A and B are shown apart, each in its own frame.
Chain A
Amino acid sequence: MIARWFALASGSLLVGCSWGRFDDVTADAPVVILDKPSGVGAGFGSAMTALSHDDRGLLLVHGTPGHSKAALFDVGTGSSPLEDALSDNFCTSETGGCFLGSSSAAIPLGVGPSGKEVLNCYALGLGEKLDNQAGILIECEDKTVFTIDVTPMLRSEIQEGLQNALPEIVALSSDEREEPALVAGFDTFATALYYPKIDAGFVELDAPQTKGPGFGRTVNVTRVADRNLVAVGAPEQNSIHLFSVEDGDAPVPAYLGCVRGDDGFARTLASGPIFEDVAVPVLAVADLEQVLLFDTAELLELDAGAESECLSLASLPRGAELTSVKCGETGAVQGCGSSDFGASLAIGDVDGDGDGELVVGAPGMSARDVSKAGAVAYFDLEDPADTQITDLKFIASAESGDRLGTSLAMARSDSRHVVATGIPGSGRSAIFYCPSFLPARLGAGRCD
């Protein structure tokens, strides 16, 4: 008995002495937390957009759309991001006024108003800048700020909003190219604009027969072969409007048609390559229950622009809808019924295998009995028949109401992507480095 107590005491002493082990176990933790910079107001993590250029990854994390500012973080080139923001003053009103958008678009390279090349910029909201007209506000890492033009009506509304402090919210998206095309959705005005480049002017995406309230709430543009597939969501109508845009400085978008889904359909959009056997990117569309994956090549072949009604999912051509994924639970993560599964979507190559993985945010899930802690579900789908959740991540330090997974972004980290997700409930953001299916060669350091 005495010997057992002695052994226990000795062991405890030895173990207890190593309080430094806690630093060891949290050093290079698999989840890096980005705390809200002091300059950012409420809602930090409500939206986020990753940018990669020259093997460098940046992450713009939004505060509350229309009211707060955004902060720019350097994700770094390896697995060690800078946890302190490069800047917490994006979308500032100091130089004229800004309404932070509900999403932003990454512009790795572009040309500014005076013809100056700009790098690492974000189209992040609506605003005006000194001598620029009100429009879509673009802000770069080097603090170059300018606006790009919008329609006169929108400009006027923006100016009025700025004057009256009545935010106008814009949804923004860009394609994957270094000098990308840009799409902006103004759901308040049921308007969406397409910019082949930021210095090339815009064309309006018009779907006169079918667009309705909420048109432009969500937008997505993805590169498919030599053209862009533009998706403009209208969640209030559970529909999505598709456009095909050819390259060129003055392209004419072709309206492909409208697709209607279940409740909440098109509330979130994302695109990217997922399946090895599907060469083109996949368009991911979330409704309130699931995330549907569409073959963008098949969508580009739609010819329903003249239809007065949106196509139902069932009426889509065979092969257009690839599959759908739904919420799932594990022992630690529960609560699919109120999970808000699909609140955010992102597609990226998180395991470095060359094809992308779908990551779905479910901010309403409970993690370890912490309600609404939130979680993100990884789907490493090999083929459309594979719809099982591959991994379900949360943060061990979750607090009730964190709503992790409210926003998602795929930030480039070396040869793969890491998943950044917003935790607006506690004003934080997190970067997940270690999905369970990550090859060991890529997990050295953080994922041992």
Chain B
Amino acid sequence: MELPALRPRRLDAGLCREPIPSMVCRVSEGLLGLERLRSKLSWFAGLIAFLWVFVAQAAGQDATSKRLETIRSQMESGQAKYVTGDYAGAAAIFETGFKAHPYSAFLFNAGVCYQKLGDRVQALAKFKEYLNVDPNAPDREKVRARIQALEALVPGAPGTTPPGETPAGEAASGAPPSIADEQVAMKSLVVIETEPAGAPLKLYAQTTPGVPAFRAGAANPGWTEVHTAVSPTDVTLDVGRYHVVVEKYLDFNVSETDIDVLPGHVHHFKANLSQGAFMAFLRVASNVRGASVYLDDPGKKKPAWGLSPHGELVTSGTHSVLIEAPGYEPRTVAVALKHGEQKEIALDLTRVSFGYLRLHSPRARQIEVTVDGRSKGSWQSGEAPLAIKLPSGPHKLVVKSDGRKTFEGTVEVPRGQVQPVSVRMIPKYPRGAAWAEAIIAGVTLGTGIWLGTESDRVYDELAADRRAGVLTSDDDRTTKGKWFAIGADAGFVLTGVLAGLATYNFLKDPLPESSIQLERRTEFDPSLPQASRAGVRPFASLPPRRSAAVHGSRGVE
């Protein structure tokens, strides 16, 4: 994969048409003006100005990078459709791309697509527009020939090739032209920059396959100069091998490199003249979009190099790439780059082995939280949610609150994410009646037992008296004992009824149990405890999420 991320230098009129170094130069000129006013202005104004320049440069780099990324994406999308035979789709993409970013390569490629569709009129129009937009195109003669061939097929008026007719310049076999076909292959956009800008450069195309490599100052048979310009420049090129030579400029020496142009691509080359060599291009991708990438900064002492996917020209040599994202294990790799090499590395991140529960309760004034049998603290209404750091996996969660039903359940702690938990604490069902019934039942039970005991005592006395032969038939203890017995039975029956009622009222609970609602998981944020260890970067740098708003939180581990 050698898809370079581009840093455009030729931009449309609506945007800055100057390369960033030029911008820096212009700002630097501004700074010189400020130097002249230094005697009159305070050092504070100078500082403000310096910061403005710094911020403007950073913003310009970001905007340019994003723009070129868009161009590259459109170019490659059109190319992909073309390869699959979706010429109409490819033409539409190229047309759209040109409207947004008026590079001539889009026009040529669109013309080729129309030609493949048999729409010679549109093809002619695009090829002609291509020459209008880029009259000094290296392949202008070939394009004119192509236009003439097409005009011959459309005498007098625009027309279309009858079905089954092979357009001029296309392969006689009638089969779809191969990607390598020079006449029909997609053109690519090549952007060449130098540091500093303004250096003269020449671009040579290898016209004869197999010839020796281009050497500056030599005869170089098989090589043809196709483009002369001052950096920065962009040029639309056919597929093939090219050689760019940045000639001696100011105090800088000559720099040169080979360029292999692929169909339908955007190639970006930048020469650091102070080093006397072209730089390499490094693109870092990851399974985590927006991960922070640090280049040669293991201590993260500087701002991140970029957010994945991020590509940029870098000096050749071995670089240390540190990539991290909230909730993921940081990863560091070493990357070796040669001059002019374009390399993309994909660094997959794995989630950390822990996560957070972030608890709050919309109903309870205070909750006590226990996880796996260990108290994890409390949360009160009005406070930030209680964040609890836990190993990922299932955990037994117990939440208690005065006057409310205790929640007990299992909650899954995600790896490297925050699981917001809204605890719905349901008030306990009033048990006053049940307690009253239970107490009365206890009293009646006690009374029943006492009466039963008394009944037994009386009976025992009567039985003893009977055995002693002194019991009379009218002994009034009989009546008393009966009433004791009846009272005892009544007490037991009443106890049973009350106990049943009490049991029922103890068990009766029309209210639902306390429950938890697992909200959409969120990524780690700076409010979490030990967020730095968890790889959490400042809140503002987090990529936007679809989930609910991220809350601040109090944390425990």
Name A's B-contacting residues (CB within 8 A): 8-9, 11-13, 15-19, 21-23, 25-26, 29-33, 35, 83, 391, 393-397, 428, 430, 432-436, 438, 447
Contacts and interface: CB of A to CB of B under 8 A. Distances in A.
A19 B475 contact: no
A25 B462 contact: yes
The residue in B448, B456, B463, B474 that gathers the most chain A C-beta atoms within 10 A of its C-beta is: B474
Interface string B451-465: 111011011011101
A434 B465 CA distance: 11
30 contacts: A9-B445, A12-B488, A12-B492, A13-B452, A16-B451, A16-B455, A16-B488, A19-B481, A19-B485, A19-B486, A26-B466, A26-B475, A29-B466, A29-B472, A30-B469, A31-B469, A31-B472, A33-B472, A33-B474, A83-B473, A393-B469, A393-B470, A396-B462, A396-B465, A396-B471, A396-B477, A397-B474, A428-B474, A432-B469, A447-B469
A447 B492 CA distance: 34
A8 B445 CA distance: 11
Nearest to A12: B452
A44 to B, nearest CB: 14
Contacts of A436: 468-469
A31 B462 CA distance: 12
A186 B62 CA distance: 151
B165 interface: no
Interface in B249-297: none
The residue in B445, B466, B476 that gathers the most chain A C-beta atoms within 10 A of its C-beta is: B466
A21 B459 contact: yes
Contacts of B527: none
B477 A30 contact: no
A25 B462 CA distance: 7
Nearest to B493: A13
Contacts of B456: 12, 15
A31 B489 CA distance: 29
Nearest to B453: A12
B404 interface: no
B332 interface: no
Given A8-B449, A12-B453, A16-B455, A26 B492 contact: no
B471 A25 contact: yes
A393 B470 CA distance: 6
A271 to B, nearest CB: 26
Contacts of B473: 26, 29, 31-33, 83
A77 B453 CA distance: 39
Contact of A31 (B453, B461, B470, B477): B470
Contacts of B482: 19, 22
Given A16-B488, A19-B455, A25-B459, A30 B471 contact: yes
Contact of B469 (A12, A13, A21, A434): A434
Contacts of A21: 459, 485
Contacts of B350: none
Contacts of B160: none
B478 interface: yes
A9 B481 CA distance: 18
B441 to A, nearest CB: 11
B470 A30 contact: yes
A8 B488 CA distance: 12
Contact of A15 (B455, B472, B486): B455
A397 B477 contact: yes
Nearest to B455: A16
A19 B484 CA distance: 8
Contacts of B489: 13, 16-17, 19
A300 to B, nearest CB: 37
A26 B471 contact: yes
